[in-house]
Structure 1
Amino acid sequence: MTVDRITSATLRAMKRRREPIVSLTCYDAAFCHLLEQAGVDVLLVGDSLGMVLQGQPSTVAVSLEHMVYHTACVSRVGKRALVLADMPFLSYATAERALQAAERLMAEGGAGMVKLEGGAAVLQTVGLLTRFGVPVCGHLGLLPQSVHQIGGYRYQGRDDAGAARIRADALALQEAGASLLVLECVPAELAAALSAELEIPVIGIGAGSGTDGQVLVLHDMLGLTPGRSPRFSRNFMADADSVSQAVAAYVAEVRSRAFPGPEQTLA
């Protein structure tokens, strides 16, 4: 039986039906199969692989070669979920580099959509990519690729000026042609308001339960990340007998909006 592949149109329909979108990071074939079996809608091949797989202190060291390789590992076996690939640090610094990176991630890697970080600075790039048929996901709030510039992993949009800037960037990204938006580490009230205002789906991470969907780093939600996990995450393995059971619990709690709860939410 042929399984319909999830696309940006599918995600928009889910938003209209108020059906929460479930996403997790994924970097290899084995986990791709497991996550699809559990019903995960969006597999994010994130540059977070630099930290959880490579032991890097940030995502900055991840190369385009790394991203193409891991995206291909996922897309080869994926049948249903949308494969969303991060464009790594500085791979979209110029129009030429952005087009080349997107081409490789989609043509070689098999991605169904690419994700880039930022607002006003990337609007022309988003417009360029979408004009050439590349589905784009924006990313606002905490921007991991800019962690050295902003001075650490801190919540964003907590004051009026910051919230207004994120809102303006979100609307501008939608106008430029973005099909999806990730909001990371922003107050729940702001994330919920933007999710209601925007026509495109909004997936949150550390942004409360009022978004159109949720994403976590796989290794965080399985309790595999050394040290202290992000406050917005939860170890689903703590109450599970297997990885499959933990992922199924995450999927069920996102669908029911039980996750994230108050303890994972910045008001």
Structure 2
Amino acid sequence: MSVAKKEYKRVTVKSLVDMKANEEKISMLTAYDYTMAKIVDGAGIDVILVGDSASNVMAGHETTLPITLDQMIYHASSVVRAIDRSLVVVDLPFGSYQSDPKEALRSAIRIMKESGGHAVKLEGGKEVKESIKRILNAGIPVMGHLGLTPQSIYKFGTYTVRAKEEEEAIKLKEDAKLLEKIGCFSIVLEKVPAKLAQEVAESVSIPVIGIGAGGGVDGQVLVVHDMIGMTHEFNPRFLRRYLDLYSEMTTAFQQYNKDVKSSDFPNEKEQY
């Protein structure tokens, strides 16, 4: 039975666990800069993810792999300066944690110290267990990420739905329980069947936040540039566009160009 919803002046990792216990859905969006983060935070979004998706939407790379730890710290620092309420989670980029638990800890410490972020997120289950444990032992909160893990795109070879086959689904369930057991405060599930995602969410006490994982999980995350329609060529089934900024911004820029060239801008009221 759910209890009365609580207003959180500042969202923490404990807040998210409480939200799940109270059957309150968790909202999460990405942000990579001060101006966008200020708007997202002011709108009441619970979690801001400084995602390695910055590699795609901010830098124009085909994958998330090229972004560096220094670049993630830069983006995270910009976001943290804008925040009054949201929990800020920062992705550990590719190559900063996979091979060496000591390197993983050093990377996580740099993010926490240099950006002021509140937690880190990394992809994988059993194969990165020692890295996660090393980070957690240092007192740094960790959000897991299972299902489609974009940093492993060259291993998968495709961005299609994961864990449709029984063997991979069983591993995903086992990895989710492992992440809970070793101390992760939450898990992102990306592009997995809705039924499986719901089963995972019901099997663990920590929040499961989905992207392309159906409505049976504890919260949802989207890339902010996708959901406000600044990007227009990316159209997965799970994406709902709440604005069409690509069209609106294009129209505005075209009008500005026209006004400048015709000497309509600036007019007498727009000068000193």
Please, what TM-score do these two structures have when normalized by structure 2?
A: 0.85
1:211 paired with 2:237, answer no
8 Å contact 2:145–2:187 — kept in the other structure?
A: yes
Please give the alpha-carbon distance, in whole angstroms, between the structure 2 residues aligned to 1:208 and 1:187.
Answer: 7
Kindly provide the amino acid, as one letter, of the partner of residue 20 in structure 1.
Answer: K
Q: Which residue does the alignment assign to 2:43?
A: 38
8 Å contact 2:102–2:131 — kept in the other structure?
A: no
Please give the alpha-carbon distance, in whole angstroms, between the structure 2 residues aligned to 1:224 and 1:205.
Answer: 18
Q: Which residue does the alignment assign to 1:98?
A: 104
1:172 paired with 2:178, answer yes
- CA drift of 1:228 comes to 3.1
Kindly provide the amino acid, as one letter, of the partner of residue 74 in structure 1.
Answer: V
Which of residues 16, 23, 32 in structure 2 aligns to 1:27?
A: 32
Secondary structure of the corresponding residue to residue 236 of structure 1: coil
Identity of matched residues, %: 43
Which of residues 71, 79, 82 in structure 1 aligns to 2:87?
A: 82
- CA drift of 1:191 comes to 0.6
Secondary structure of the corresponding residue to residue 44 of structure 1: strand
Please give the alpha-carbon distance, in whole angstroms, between the structure 1 residues aligned to 2:38 and 2:79.
Answer: 9
Secondary structure of the corresponding residue to residue 116 of structure 1: strand
Structure number with higher relative contact order (C-alpha < 8 Å, ≥ 6 residues apart):
1
Please, what TM-score do these two structures have when normalized by structure 1?
A: 0.87
Please give the alpha-carbon distance, in whole angstroms, between the structure 2 residues aligned to 1:165 and 1:113.
Answer: 25
Q: Show CA shifts across 1:122-176 (max 9, x none).
A: 1111111111101000000000000011101111111111110100010011111
What is the RMSD computed on CA atoms of the aligned residues? 1.7
- CA drift of 1:19 comes to 0.5
Kindly provide the amino acid, as one letter, of the partner of residue 210 in structure 2.
Answer: G
Q: Which residue does the alignment assign to 1:7?
A: 12
Deviates more, 1:166-175 or 1:3-12: 3-12
Secondary structure of the corresponding residue to residue 178 of structure 1: coil
- CA drift of 1:195 comes to 0.7
Q: Which residue does the alignment assign to 1:60?
A: 65
- CA drift of 1:226 comes to 4.0
Please give the alpha-carbon distance, in whole angstroms, between the structure 2 residues aligned to 1:131 and 1:167.
Answer: 24
Kindly provide the amino acid, as one letter, of the partner of residue 119 in structure 1.
Answer: G
Please give the alpha-carbon distance, in whole angstroms, between the structure 2 residues aligned to 1:126 and 1:173.
Answer: 9
Secondary structure of the corresponding residue to residue 231 of structure 2: coil
Paired residues, number: 240
- CA drift of 1:230 comes to 2.0
Q: Which residue does the alignment assign to 1:246?
A: none
8 Å contact 2:148–2:159 — kept in the other structure?
A: yes
Q: Which residue does the alignment assign to 1:256?
A: none
Which of residues 204, 207, 222 in structure 1 aligns to 2:228?
A: 222
Secondary structure of the corresponding residue to residue 35 of structure 1: helix
Where do 5+ consecutive residues of structure 2 fail to align?
Answer: 1-7, 250-272
8 Å contact 1:124–1:176 — kept in the other structure?
A: no
8 Å contact 2:230–2:244 — kept in the other structure?
A: no
- CA drift of 1:238 comes to 4.4
Kindly provide the amino acid, as one letter, of the partner of residue 173 in structure 2.
Answer: R
Where do 5+ consecutive residues of structure 1 fail to align?
Answer: 244-267
8 Å contact 2:80–2:115 — kept in the other structure?
A: yes
